[in-house]
Amino acid sequence: MKLIRTLTATLLALALFASQAQAHRLWIKPNTTVVSGENEWITFDAAIANGIFNPDHHAYPLERLTAWNPEANKIELQNGQRLKYRSVFDLNLTAEGTYKVFSASRTLVARWTDENGERHFWPGRGRTGTEAEFRKQVPQEAADLQVTDAANRIEVFVTAGAPTDAVLKPTGQGLEWAPELHPNDLYTGEAVTFGFLFDGQPAKNASLTLVREGEKYRDQSQPITGTTNAKGEVTVTFEAPGMYFLEVEYEDDNAEPPASQRRGSYSAVVEVLPL
């Protein structure tokens, strides 16, 4: 009975941990995405949260964020502060065009079972695993060894004056948004095609979810969902204006050794205006 109770408790803990991990959303939310004046400022929140735009878990580390000006050159975040549940910062838009704030990472992830039946995970939460470290630290002949090439990206775009596209160009690394329509030019009632790439190639069968702000005040989340086609594209129509959290998940079996699977996650915040 004691063993059964222990196993049951362990399974419940694992299930709870898994559900919490799935619930966490990473987002960078601006107070607005478009300004028209000269030398304007936009302020941002960045958080790892259970809900949409409700910071309640962890502040996102500012040192992981990078900002680009309209010429795709790095600029500094201003007035940054890390609070308990969210980080805050400002961006000074000194030139006309589109700016990007983002964080991108890629790592090898391994899981295996040792000779005692104990499960192991590498490289550990918050760490980045390289191939060289993998060869040194992970037993290559371990039972049930699973190795994944995991790429993660979060970003947001803001524009001063007329929009530009230099910061929209894909890098060819990981899961990326390759927008046909400018991210700061979204309106209700218009069909919008979202295109995604993984390592520069169409991300086929990626799942897309869009959730409008105010989720906690609705009976249901009311997400917009879709799956990309062979071109890595999916078309949606926004019925209501507001800030939206965009999340995309992708996986395939086209990884290069030592990985056997590729996974990508992407999230962004977009603002939809009334037509």
**Antiparallel, parallel or unpaired: β 143-160 and 97-113:** antiparallel
DSSP state for residue 51 in the 8-state scheme: B
Query: Taking a C-beta distance cutoff of 8 angstroms, is the pair 211, 27 a contact?
Result: no
Query: Taking a C-beta distance cutoff of 8 angstroms, is the pair 134, 122 a contact?
Result: yes
Arch. (CATH architecture) of 20-106+148-273: Sandwich (2.60)
Q: Which residue has the tokens 């803990």?
A: 13
Amino acid type, 149:
D
Closest CA to 196 of 167, 226, 180, 176: 176
- pLDDT number for residue 252: 96
Q: Which residue has the tokens 């760490």?
A: 127
- CA distances to 9, 167, 219, 249 from 72, rounded to whole Å, are 50, 5, 41, 26
Closest CA to 196 of 247, 259, 255, 271: 247
- Residue 123: asked if its preceding bond is cis (omega within 30°), the reply is yes
- pLDDT number for residue 16: 34
**Which two structure tokens, joined as six digits, stand for 69?**
């000006």
**For the chain, what are the domain ranges?**
20-106+148-273
In whole angstroms, give the CA distance from residue 182 to residue 166.
11
- pLDDT number for residue 141: 86
pTM score above 0.75: yes
- pLDDT number for residue 23: 53
Q: pLDDT (tens digit, 0 to 9) for every residue of the chain, 275 residues total?
A: 333 333 333 333 333 333 333 457 899 999 999 999 889 999 999 999 998 999 999 999 999 999 999 999 999 999 999 999 999 999 999 999 999 999 999 999 999 998 888 899 999 877 888 999 999 999 988 888 999 999 999 999 999 999 999 999 999 999 999 999 999 999 999 999 999 999 999 999 999 999 999 988 887 788 999 999 999 999 999 999 999 999 999 999 999 999 999 999 999 999 999 98
- pLDDT number for residue 249: 98
- pLDDT number for residue 124: 85
- pLDDT number for residue 143: 81
Give phi and psi for 80, each to the nearest 5. Answer: -70, 140
- pLDDT number for residue 17: 33
For 240, the 3-state DSSP assignment is coil
